[in-house]
Amino acid sequence: MKARQKRIALILGGLAVLGIAAALVLNALNSNIAFYVSPTDVAAGKAPQGKAFRIGGMVKEGSLKREADGVTMSFIVTDTEKDLPVSYKGILPDLFQEGKGVVAQGKLADGRFIASEVLAKHDENYMPPEAAKAVGDAHERAAANKAKAEAAQGGAAAASAAPTATQPASQPATQPAAKPAY
């Protein structure tokens, strides 16, 4: 075998090893990826079937319950538009509370999300970006639906909330006058 043939064989062997390593890394990444889905998307049937994914939103007030086995917890995650019942077997994080943000990873089974991992927000101002976007989108849809309903009723509710001649437009009708700061 000539030196040139040895060099070409070595380069081809290196490329083959590099290709196999890249394929293994990409396969590992693909199998461990978990997509974020909001409760509204789950209700619309956009959740991956048979694969793990993440849901996020707020834990609905009054929904946290301990099952009879003493280890399984049930609660409802909401994005203020749709609710999704969640079951989790294990110890919940210390910061997990009703009315606070949560992200859970798991699978959907019989209309219930079975969580394998639950992550709670870590301070009072933090919400995962995906959860914040889902909650914001739900609020926008709710506001649009409310505006449509008010328009359908002839705008009577909007007219009653309009400022009067003696009340400045910058001050809402339901808010008392501001007190001076001392």
Please count the structural domains in the chain.
Answer: 2
Range of the domain at 101: 35-129
Question: Does pLDDT of 125 surpass 70?
Answer: no
Q: Which residues contact 71 (CB under 8 A, 6 or more apart)?
A: 89, 90
Query: If 0-12 CB within 10 Å is exposed, 13-18 middle and 19+ buried, where does residue 55 land?
Result: buried
Question: Does pLDDT of 97 surpass 80?
Answer: yes
Q: Is residue 60, in this structure, part of any structural domain at all?
A: yes
- Stronger pLDDT, 110 or 160, i.e. the higher one: 110
pLDDT at position 146, please? 85
Give pTM, 2 decimals: 0.56
| pLDDT one-digit tens code per residue, 129-160 | 776 777 778 778 888 888 888 888 875 544 55
pLDDT at position 158, please? 47
pLDDT at position 124, please? 54
Same domain, 6 and 67: no
Q: Is residue 181, in this structure, part of any structural domain at all?
A: no
> What proportion of the chain, given as a percentage, has pLDDT over 90?
20
Same domain, 2 and 51: no
pLDDT at position 151, please? 86
Same domain, 41 and 52: yes
From 87, 109, 129, the end of a domain falls on: 129
Same domain, 41 and 118: yes
From 85, 111, 129, the end of a domain falls on: 129
Q: Is residue 56, in this structure, part of any structural domain at all?
A: yes
What gap in Å lies between CA 89 and CA 66, rounded to an integer? 10
